[in-house]
Structure 1
Amino acid sequence: MNKAHASLASLFALAFVLYAAYSLPAKSGETGNAAPASIRIGYQKYGTLILVKARGELDRKLKAAGVTVDWAEFAFGPPMLEALNAAHLDFAASGETPPVFALAAKGSDLVYLGYESASPEGEAILVAKDAGIAGIAGLKGRKVAVARGSNAHYLLIRALASAGLGWKDIQPVYLAPADARAAFANGAVDAWAIWDFHLAVAQETAGARILADGQKLVQNHEIYTSRKDFIRQHPELAKTVLEEIARTDEWARTHTAEAAELLDRQLGIGVPVLKKALERRAYGLHPVDAELASAQQNIADTLHALGLLPKPVQVSLALSATEIQP
Structure 2
Amino acid sequence: MAGHPRKRPIWRGASVVLALLSAAASLAGCGGKQPDAAQVLRVGNQRGGTHALMLAAGQLKDVPYKIEWAEFPNAQPLIEAIATNALDLGLVGGPSFLFAYKNDQRLRAIQALSGGTKQEVAGVLVHKNASFASMRDLRGKAIGTTRGSVGHSLLLQALRQSGMKPSDVRISFVAPTEAVAAFASGDLDALAIWVPYLATAVLRHDARVLTYAHRGTSSYLFQVTSESSIKDKRALLEDFSRRYGRAQSWANSHPRQWGEILAKETGLPLDVANYTAEHMRWWPVPIDAQVIESQRVAARDFGTGGPAQNFDIARGFDASLNTDPTAKGKPD
TM-score range (shorter-chain normalised) is 0.7 to 0.9
Q: In 1, distance between residues paired with 2:77 and 2:218?
A: 22
Residue 109 in 1 paired to residue 106 in 2? yes
Once superposed, what is the RMSD of the aligned Cα atoms? 2.2
Q: In 2, distance between residues paired with 1:218 and 1:130?
A: 31
Counterpart for residue 180 of structure 1:
179
Q: Which runs of 5+ in 1 are unaligned?
A: 1-29
Q: In 2, distance between residues paired with 1:233 and 1:133?
A: 52
Q: In 2, distance between residues paired with 1:276 and 1:214?
A: 19
TM-score using structure 2 length: 0.80
Counterpart code for 1:97: P
Q: In 1, distance between residues paired with 2:51 and 2:166?
A: 32
CA contact (8 A) 2:113 2:285 kept: yes
What is the 5 A alignment of 1:18-29? Answer: none
Q: How far does residue 164 in structure 1 lie from its aligned partner after superposition?
A: 0.8
Q: In 1, distance between residues paired with 2:215 and 2:306?
A: 23
What is the 5 A alignment of 1:61-140? Answer: 61-62=62-63, 65=64, 67-105=65-103, 107-118=104-115, 120-140=119-139
**What do the CA deviations read for 1:206-239 (whole angstroms, capped 9, x no partner)?**
2201111142366332211111221122221012
**Higher deviation after alignment, 141-150 or 217-226:** 217-226
Counterpart for residue 325 of structure 2:
none
CA contact (8 A) 2:43 2:90 kept: yes
What is the 5 A alignment of 1:1-326? Answer: 32=31, 35=36, 37-53=39-55, 57-58=59-60, 60-62=61-63, 65=64, 67-105=65-103, 107-118=104-115, 120-216=119-215, 219-303=218-302, 305-309=303-307, 312-321=310-319
Q: In 2, distance between residues paired with 1:51 and 1:170?
A: 37
**Aligned residues, how many?**
287
Q: Quick one: higher RCO (CA 8 Å, sep 6+), 1 or 2?
A: 1
Q: In 2, distance between residues paired with 1:157 and 1:217?
A: 15
CA pair 204-49 structure 1, distance change in 2 beyond 3 A: same
Q: How far does residue 44 in structure 1 lie from its aligned partner after superposition?
A: 1.1
Instruction: Work out the percentage of aligned pairs sharing the same amino acid.
Output: 28
CA contact (8 A) 1:84 1:226 kept: yes
Q: How far does residue 54 in structure 1 lie from its aligned partner after superposition?
A: 5.3
Give the SS at the match of 1:130.
Answer: coil
Q: Which runs of 5+ in 2 are unaligned?
A: 1-28, 321-332
CA contact (8 A) 1:44 1:50 kept: no
